[in-house]
Structure 1
Amino acid sequence: MPRTPVWKSIARALSGDIAEGRYAPGDKLPTEAELSSRFGVNRHTLRRAIADMAERGLVQSRRGSGVFVLAEPTEYPIGRRVRFHQNLTAAGRLPAKRILTLETRASDTREAKALGLPPGDLVHCYDGLSLADNVPVALFRSVFPAAPFPNLLRDLEETRSVTKALEMGGVRDYTRAHTRLTAKRATGPQAVQLNIHEGDPILRTVGVNVDPGGRAVEYGRTWFVGDRMTLVVDDR
């Protein structure tokens, strides 16, 4: 029988490690030197194995950072009702949010226009990081009119859920009035938070949520990691 090429054996071994959970999505593989030592091969052979795994969508090499395990992109519906926790749970992922900043400040021109406020009116601003199975998948900024929701920042800190915080402020339901999607490249600060390389592709969504009476209650911008999330337009 023909002998299996060494690089294929290495690719199979590392793929098995990933399948068995030794390396989880988002994890960085050991360095080339460490893996070469483990398998007793030169770096050329190791790189052939890594290239094969990359072609199969198992890992991604990031210049200057290393080789990272990829997860299957999560389908994320963008429609009239966008609910992060519900969407991720329905996709079989464990959702979580990490608060980066919570503040009340004067609105800028774009925020005031989106929320139908006089320029400079106070708004609550929530900057955060969204995770799926503990892997960063998106950065977001949500801006809310301050006057109708005096306790919103406290409720957000307690619940980590926009839906629950708005409900505590009297908004039982809200829907997306419109959404814009734009392809971008990650800035340095975004790359650090999202554990990607500066310049990697990301998708930005911009949208406004309104209550049943049509009043704008949230102006949101989200930056999704391009290879971790698949945005699905859903008109329902």
Structure 2
Amino acid sequence: MNENKSRPRPMYRFIARELKADIISGVYADGASFPSEADLQNAYGVSRVTVRSALKILEQEGLIKRRQGSGTVVSGRAIHKSLNTLLDFHREATLHLRNPRSQVLSLAERPSRARERLILGLEGAENLVELKRLRFLDEDPVVLQTTCLPLDLMQGVSSAELKNRSLYDFLQKERNIQLSYADSVLEPYSIDKRDAAWLKLAPGAAVMRAHRTAVDKTGRTVEYSINLIRGDYFKYSYRLMADEMEP
């Protein structure tokens, strides 16, 4: 007689899964101290052997580092971005001790669409340049970026000039564009089959979609981009300040 009974998941795997979810979601920030073995034993009501088995899984996945005599620290793969600071992809990755890379998928002149003309301040059926790039962290594809720019800023530019280079750095050094600020709107998005393949995700997976416009110091909008961002590699944070209350 064949019985089809599912085996219960070992407790150490359950603990590892919960702790992994907390690390990825940002409950434990990168570089922060991780709960001790004793703390985890008390919290889950399990043996030290069970706790150590769970921690071994996290260590093997590169989510924590266990150091003799100094405890355990978080070593998650996500970059925690502040919404109050404008940093280009390459500089931000480097500051987090990650290895950034950018692959130019396409760079082409095309007719502008009505919405793009409104955002970029183009006239009539003026053409623009569309730049599509795949951004990598440590060889993992993490951002699929489609950027529209005014034609005069990108006239004669080749893909090779933008390979592994910040677009903002290019605009500043090669086009003398001084950025003033950028506005960005984040929203949840279910990725389609074509874009999912670039980011090595399953079709329909949840990502963050960011709409960004960048403005230079003359007040001209020089960039409109749509970024599809893997949420397991980027977390966004901001500080909420309490208003002063009347006594």
Q: Secondary structure at the match of 1:152?
A: coil
Alignment of structure 1 residues 141-220 onto 2, 5 Å: 141-154=146-159, 156-157=161-162, 160-220=165-225
| Distance across 2 between alignment mates of 1:175 and 1:47 | 54
* 8 Å contact kept, 2:104–2:159: no
Q: Tell me whether 1:85 sits opposite 2:90 in the alignment.
A: yes
Q: Secondary structure at the match of 2:108?
A: strand
Matching residue of 1:133: 138
Considering only CA atoms, is the larger Rg found in Structure 1 or Structure 2? 2
CA positional deviation for 1:140: 0.5
Q: Tell me whether 1:111 sits opposite 2:93 in the alignment.
A: no
Aligned residues: 185
CA positional deviation for 1:230: 0.5
- CA deviations over 1:112-157 (Å, ceiling 9, x no partner): 1111111421111111111111111111111110024323345644
Matching residue of 1:57: 20
Matching residue of 2:129: 124
Note the aligned Cα RMSD (angstroms): 2.9
Q: Secondary structure at the match of 1:190?
A: helix
Counterpart residue type for residue 20 of structure 2 = G
| Distance across 1 between alignment mates of 2:230 and 2:207 | 5
| Distance across 2 between alignment mates of 1:189 and 1:50 | 34
Q: Secondary structure at the match of 2:155?
A: coil
- CA deviations over 1:13-71 (Å, ceiling 9, x no partner): xxxxxxxxxxxxxxxxxxxxxxxxxxxxxx957887765543332899xxxxxxxx685
TM-score computed with the length of structure 2 as normaliser: 0.64
Matching residue of 1:224: 229
| Distance across 2 between alignment mates of 1:54 and 1:92 | 26
| Distance across 1 between alignment mates of 2:159 and 2:134 | 18
* 8 Å contact kept, 1:75–1:230: yes
Q: Secondary structure at the match of 2:77?
A: coil
Counterpart residue type for residue 212 of structure 2 = G
- Comparing 213-222 with 149-158, which one deviates more in the overlay? 149-158
TM-score computed with the length of structure 1 as normaliser: 0.67
Counterpart residue type for residue 142 of structure 1 = T
Residues 234 and 49 of structure 1: CA distance in aligned 2, closer, same or farther (over 3 Å): closer
Q: Tell me whether 1:96 sits opposite 2:78 in the alignment.
A: no
Residues 187 and 158 of structure 1: CA distance in aligned 2, closer, same or farther (over 3 Å): closer
Structure 1: 5+ residue stretches without partners: 1-42, 61-68
Q: Secondary structure at the match of 1:56?
A: helix
Percent identity between the two aligned chains: 22
Counterpart residue type for residue 209 of structure 1 = A
- Comparing 193-202 with 80-89, which one deviates more in the overlay? 80-89
- Comparing 130-139 with 171-180, which one deviates more in the overlay? 171-180
Residues 200 and 151 of structure 1: CA distance in aligned 2, closer, same or farther (over 3 Å): same
| Distance across 1 between alignment mates of 2:20 and 2:91 | 26
| Distance across 2 between alignment mates of 1:155 and 1:117 | 27
Structure 2: 5+ residue stretches without partners: 1-5, 25-60, 64-75, 241-247
- Comparing 111-120 with 72-81, which one deviates more in the overlay? 72-81
CA positional deviation for 1:216: 1.1
CA positional deviation for 1:89: 1.2
* 8 Å contact kept, 2:211–2:225: yes
- CA deviations over 1:164-201 (Å, ceiling 9, x no partner): 32124423421334211111112111221111112221
